[in-house]
């Protein structure tokens, strides 16, 4: 095993960076061919000493730095190399937006790819995976490293190929689903992934914190109980809050009062709502949750008559995702849309445990420090803050707190008007679609031209366009949290992108005029643009088969040059106005999300400002503020229109926010702890499955299952009163033809030896019989029965474990620790499952016969 993971030394970093730069300078004179050869050279170096030593790191990083320069003309900053070294140590590099993380990841990715075990770069969405892979392909073409890309639309055949590449760009959900599917594969060739070696997670907080609250689930449709949902909804509508049920906003829970319970029992004509055999409680609680907690256009939207979830952190719609355990159906019932079938979980895993499958992990993001404890505890990754290349000049102004919400929004609208008048670009972040629309209406009334970006489908399509403009003069942008992650806002505009847009329009027009019959479709135009960009930096003629490509390249260069000048001028004007202004309209559930918002301004040493406008009616104050905040306000005695800018208040607010963070951390920790129990079982089952799948000869496994079954049943036999019954069961199971009484006189060891012997003999006879009829069939049968029974039992086991978790939840008012109880019972369930698998496999295989059609 290569000693890849030990190399770590923070103190040496400065020195190492110096050495990397020296090594890189030497490479400057190398021809492209010679540069390419460095890959083989470093590979040999690694093989020779069987580890990655400091020299290898230095050489590999230097080579990447040179390749980046040749492909893009950019020279890596020292802080970027420091970021690369941090990733290489298996840590999280906290680097601000716009610091160039995409390039940073290439350094350790290249190094780890040299051991031929595969590297995954994980992104939050397909767009980023595609964008970053395209760039990486250009750069690594100089180093003979193959870059793969897996997005939703890539089919299995291609996927397998992409997984074989040196470095593969992929989203977190694709890698997770492929893992689960691989472990449901029936044929060895259907397995797509290699072993999990090294992963670099981009936007690591978003993946390992925000998304880690809901597990990944592969499900199959099961029964549908429409009436239950409809009836539960009707009941929920008759129940009254406080009197019949209490709402716990903190834990998003509903608790029925005695009055509520009695009412439900009366309507349903049942005696005990909490009887385990009565299904109703789950439906009623879900219906109440749907009524109280799930708000249209905040938590979900209705699109094509379907409930589509809106991610509370990013504001994006999450197509295809459903709330689990009947909650989604309860919301469907509430909105009177079609109730989709309840899903049966076939396989599931949490992101925590998925990423812990990698031998080495590292991550990058702009915001992780506030969640450092969690990263250390669960993933053993430290969060290292990397200084910005240029000093950050953004001013984060103190919060302004208004007494009431309406006045807060008016103040925000007025602030926008002031900015609009002076032409300063402003980005306002809202936490819901509803709020973004409300503000948009207010701005329209004030005649402020603005762009609106939220999860509504008609707006999403323009996302990149809106972000492209967000840094331009006189541009006011309202956005739910989604905007800006992964795409940075450039002051004065991005000349490359604007030039791209113009050349695209030019080509479209040219096609139209040249030949009215033949339009190029969007994909074809995108391909031409990619080629233009690719050949732009290569001086020789393209000798490409695209007509006019050389002319297009020339024109593109000209347009870009023109905009470079214009954008630069505009940028200077904006900087004079103070740079991009970020307005936050509500503190989020985590300081990290607030920091993300602020981080959109002040990139690469630009000036900028951020300010949060809050009101005492905001969720954070209302739910988590406690008495402290109310006291402070009453002491201050101010009128409604004057905002409060108090350090004491900010402190209370911060502590409220920390409370929320801790609360959500607990939820994730709990999910993780519970999933850990099933995770070790899952690993055991998946390993057994993989072994069976990869062997063409599973006879030994059958014999082992048979013998273990005999031993287990004999243990029962000696403990049990109804001995005869057990013996009969053994004989039946093994399909042995023998008179029972013959066994009675045997002692323990004789009986065990006899049964084992009998089992072997009958199995050999079975083998011979089948082998004669169809050679090779028995081996296929063995594999088939083993896999079939493991999968069936495992799926039933998942169901039981889910139920167990739910019931442990109901039961846990006593003194016992529910997790300990869960672990104990889960262990028993697991043992039962294993016994069941062995017995059914033996039962089935001992009865297999070939029916031959004549």
As a whole number of angstroms, the distance between CA 367 and CA 599 comes to 9
317-318 and 306-310 as β-strands: parallel, antiparallel, unpaired? antiparallel
Q: How many CB atoms lie within 10 A of CB 35?
A: 18
DSSP string, 399-428: PEEESSHHHHHHHHHHHHHHHHHHT--EEE
State both tokens at 464: 């990149």
Instruction: Identify which of residues 333 and 392 has a Cβ nearer to ligand ADP in the complex.
Output: 392
Residues that bind ligand ADP (CB under 6 A): 74-77, 80, 95, 97-103, 488
Instruction: Identify which of residues 65 and 679 has a Cβ nearer to ligand ADP in the complex.
Output: 65
Instruction: Identify which of residues 403 and 497 has a Cβ nearer to ligand ADP in the complex.
Output: 497
Helices 13-27 and 54-72: crossing angle in degrees, nearest 10, is 50
Instruction: Identify which of residues 95 and 330 has a Cβ nearer to ligand ADP in the complex.
Output: 95
Residue 342 annotated as binding?
no
State both tokens at 120: 């995954």
Instruction: Identify which of residues 496 and 542 has a Cβ nearer to ligand ADP in the complex.
Output: 496
Could you tell me if 290 and 309 are in contact, meaning their C-beta atoms sit under 8 angstroms apart?
no
Residue 101 annotated as binding?
yes
Please list, in sequence order, all residues whose beta carbon lies within 8 angstroms of the beta carbon of residue 844, skipping any fewer than 6 positions away.
785, 789
Residue 98 annotated as binding?
yes
DSSP conformational letter for 241: B
What residue has token string 């799926």?
795
Residue 598 CB, shortest distance to ligand ADP, in Å, is 14
Residue 599 annotated as binding?
no
Nearest CA to 787 out of 713, 722, 695 is that of 695
Could you tell me if 209 and 672 are in contact, meaning their C-beta atoms sit under 8 angstroms apart?
no
Instruction: Identify which of residues 178 and 202 has a Cβ nearer to ligand ADP in the complex.
Output: 202
Instruction: Identify which of residues 168 and 487 has a Cβ nearer to ligand ADP in the complex.
Output: 487
DSSP conformational letter for 208: I
DSSP string, 622-638: III-HHHHHHHHHHH--
DSSP-based helix, strand, coil % in the chain, nearest 5: 60, 10, 30
Instruction: Identify which of residues 390 and 531 has a Cβ nearer to ligand ADP in the complex.
Output: 390
Residue 327 CB, shortest distance to ligand ADP, in Å, is 35
State both tokens at 84: 């690369």
State both tokens at 680: 């070790």
Residue 625 CB, shortest distance to ligand ADP, in Å, is 34
Element (H, E) at 71: helix 54-72
Residue 100 CB, shortest distance to ligand ADP, in Å, is 3
Element (H, E) at 21: helix 13-27
Instruction: Identify which of residues 176 and 599 has a Cβ nearer to ligand ADP in the complex.
Output: 599
Q: How far is C-alpha 482 from the chain's CA centre? A: 15
Residue 256 CB, shortest distance to ligand ADP, in Å, is 48
Residue nearest to ligand ADP according to CB distances in the complex: 100
Residue 84 CB, shortest distance to ligand ADP, in Å, is 12
Residue 175 CB, shortest distance to ligand ADP, in Å, is 20
CA torsion through residues 743, 744, 750, 756, sign? positive
Residue 99 annotated as binding?
yes
* C-alpha distances out from residue 769 to 257, 323, 760, 775, 847, Å: 67, 52, 14, 10, 12
607-615 and 393-396 as β-strands: parallel, antiparallel, unpaired? parallel
What SS3 class is residue 296? Answer: strand
Instruction: Identify which of residues 76 and 499 has a Cβ nearer to ligand ADP in the complex.
Output: 76
State both tokens at 267: 């309507």
Please list, in sequence order, all residues whose beta carbon lies within 8 angstroms of the beta carbon of residue 714, skipping any fewer than 6 positions away.
730, 748, 751, 752, 755
DSSP string, 555-615: HHHHHHHHHHHHHHHHHHHHHHHTSEEEEESS--SSHHHHHHHHTTSSGGG-EEEEEEEEE
Bridge partners of residue 247, in order along the sequence: 254
Bridge partners of residue 217, in order along the sequence: 348
Instruction: Identify which of residues 105 and 798 has a Cβ nearer to ligand ADP in the complex.
Output: 105
Residue 76 CB, shortest distance to ligand ADP, in Å, is 5
State both tokens at 81: 């190399």
Residue 94 CB, shortest distance to ligand ADP, in Å, is 11
CA torsion through residues 296, 297, 298, 303, sign? positive
Instruction: Identify which of residues 80 and 475 has a Cβ nearer to ligand ADP in the complex.
Output: 80
Phi, psi angle pair for 244, to nearest 5°? -100, -25
As a whole number of angstroms, the distance between CA 503 and CA 521 comes to 15
State both tokens at 54: 């400091």
Instruction: Identify which of residues 103 and 439 has a Cβ nearer to ligand ADP in the complex.
Output: 103
What SS3 class is residue 846? Answer: coil
Could you tell me if 93 and 364 are in contact, meaning their C-beta atoms sit under 8 angstroms apart?
yes
As a whole number of angstroms, the distance between CA 665 and CA 674 comes to 14
What SS3 class is residue 120? Answer: strand
Residue 605 CB, shortest distance to ligand ADP, in Å, is 12
Instruction: Identify which of residues 99 and 311 has a Cβ nearer to ligand ADP in the complex.
Output: 99
Instruction: Identify which of residues 408 and 472 has a Cβ nearer to ligand ADP in the complex.
Output: 472
- Residues at the binding site are 80, 98-102, 488
Query: Known binding site for ATP: residues?
Result: 80, 98-102, 488
């Amino acid at each position: 095993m290569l000693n890849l993971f030990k190399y770590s030394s923070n103190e040496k970093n400065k020195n190492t960076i110096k050495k990397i730069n020296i090594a890189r300078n030497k490479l400057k004179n190398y021809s492209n061919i010679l540069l390419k050869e460095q890959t083989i050279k470093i590979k040999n170096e690694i093989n020779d000493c069987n580890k990655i030593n400091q020299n290898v790191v230095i050489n590999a990083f230097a080579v990447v730095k040179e390749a980046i320069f040749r492909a893009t003309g950019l020279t890596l900053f020292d802080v970027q190399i420091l970021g690369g070294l941090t990733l290489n140590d298996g840590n999280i590099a906290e680097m601000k937006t716009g610091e160039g993380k995409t390039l940073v990841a290439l350094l350790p990715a290249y190094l780890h790819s040299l051991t031929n075990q595969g590297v995954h770069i994980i992104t939050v969405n397909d767009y980023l995976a595609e964008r970053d892979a395209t760039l990486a392909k250009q750069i690594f073409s100089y180093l003979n490293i193959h870059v793969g890309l897996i997005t939703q639309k890539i089919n299995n055949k291609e996927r397998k190929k992409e997984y074989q590449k040196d470095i593969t760009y992929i989203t977190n959900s694709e890698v997770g689903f492929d893992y689960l599917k691989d472990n449901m594969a029936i044929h060895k060739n259907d397995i797509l992934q290699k072993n999990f070696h090294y992963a670099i997670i981009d936007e690591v907080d978003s993946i390992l914190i925000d998304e880690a609250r809901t597990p990944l689930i592969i499900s199959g449709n099961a029964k549908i109980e429409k009436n239950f949902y409809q009836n539960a909804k009707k009941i929920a509508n008759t129940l009254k809050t406080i009197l019949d049920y209490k709402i716990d906003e903190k834990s998003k829970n509903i608790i029925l009062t005695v009055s509520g319970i009695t009412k439900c029992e009366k309507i349903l004509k049942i005696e005990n709502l909490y009887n385990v055999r009565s299904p109703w409680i789950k439906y009623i609680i879900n219906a109440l949750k749907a009524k109280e907690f799930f708000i249209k256009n905040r938590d979900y939207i209705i699109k094509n008559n379907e409930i589509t979830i809106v991610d509370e952190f990013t504001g994006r719609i999450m197509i295809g995702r459903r709330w689990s355990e009947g909650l989604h159906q309860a919301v469907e019932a509430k909105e009177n849309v079609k109730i989709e079938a309840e899903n049966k979980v076939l396989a599931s895993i949490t992101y925590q445990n998925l990423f812990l499958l990698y031998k080495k992990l590292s991550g990058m993001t702009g915001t992780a420090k506030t969640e450092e404890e969690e990263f250390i505890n669960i993933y053993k990754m430290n969060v290292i803050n990397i200084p910005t290349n240029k000093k950050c000049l953004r001013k984060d102004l103190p919060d302004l707190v208004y007494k009431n919400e309406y006045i807060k929004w008016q103040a925000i609208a007025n602030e926008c008007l002031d900015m609009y008048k002076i032409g300063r670009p402003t980005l306002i972040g809202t936490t819901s679609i509803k709020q973004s629309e409300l503000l948009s209406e207010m701005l329209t009334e004030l005649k402020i031209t603005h762009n609106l970006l939220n999860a509504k489908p008609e707006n999403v399509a323009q996302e990149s366009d809106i972000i492209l403009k967000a840094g331009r003069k006189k541009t006011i942008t309202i956005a739910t949290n989604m905007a800006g992650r992964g795409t940075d806002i450039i002051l004065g505009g991005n000349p490359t992108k604007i030039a791209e847009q113009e050349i695209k329009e030019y080509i479209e027009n040219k096609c139209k005029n040249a030949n009215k019959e033949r339009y190029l479709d969007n994909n074809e135009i995108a391909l031409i643009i990619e080629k233009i960009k690719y050949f732009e930096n290569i001086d020789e003629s393209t000798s490409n088969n695209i007509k006019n490509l050389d002319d297009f390249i020339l024109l593109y260069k000209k347009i870009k040059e023109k905009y470079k000048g214009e954008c630069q001028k505009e940028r200077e004007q904006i900087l004079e106005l103070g740079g991009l202004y970020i307005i936050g309209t509500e503190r989020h559930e985590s300081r990290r999300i607030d920091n993300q918002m602020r981080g959109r301004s002040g990139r690469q040493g630009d000036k900028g400002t951020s300010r949060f406008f809050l009101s005492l009616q905001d969720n954070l104050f209302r739910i988590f503020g406690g008495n402290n905040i109310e006291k402070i306000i009453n002491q201050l005695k101010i009128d409604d229109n004057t905002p409060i800018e108090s350090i004491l208040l900010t402190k209370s607010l911060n502590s409220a926010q920390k409370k929320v963070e801790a609360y959500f951390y607990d939820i994730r920790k709990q999910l993780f702890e519970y999933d850990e129990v099933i995770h070790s079982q899952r690993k055991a089952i998946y390993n057994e499955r993989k072994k069976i799948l990869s062997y063409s000869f599973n006879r030994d496994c059958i014999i082992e299952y048979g013998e273990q079954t005999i031993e287990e049943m004999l243990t029962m036999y000696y403990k049990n009163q109804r001995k005869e019954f057990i013996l009969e069961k053994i004989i039946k199971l093994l399909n042995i033809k023998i008179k029972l009484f013959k066994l009675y006189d045997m002692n323990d060891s004789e009986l065990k030896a006899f049964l084992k012997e009998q089992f072997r003999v009958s199995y050999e006879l079975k083998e011979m019989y089948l082998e004669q009829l169809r050679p090779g069939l028995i081996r296929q049968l063995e594999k088939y029965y083993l896999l079939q029974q493991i999968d069936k039992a495992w799926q039933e086991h998942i169901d039981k474990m889910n139920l167990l978790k739910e019931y442990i939840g109901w039961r846990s008012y006593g003194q016992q620790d529910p997790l300990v109880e869960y672990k104990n019972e889960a262990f028993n369930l697991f043992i039962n499952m294993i016994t069941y698998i062995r017995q059914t496999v033996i039962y089935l295989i001992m009865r297999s016969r070939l029916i031959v059609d004549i």
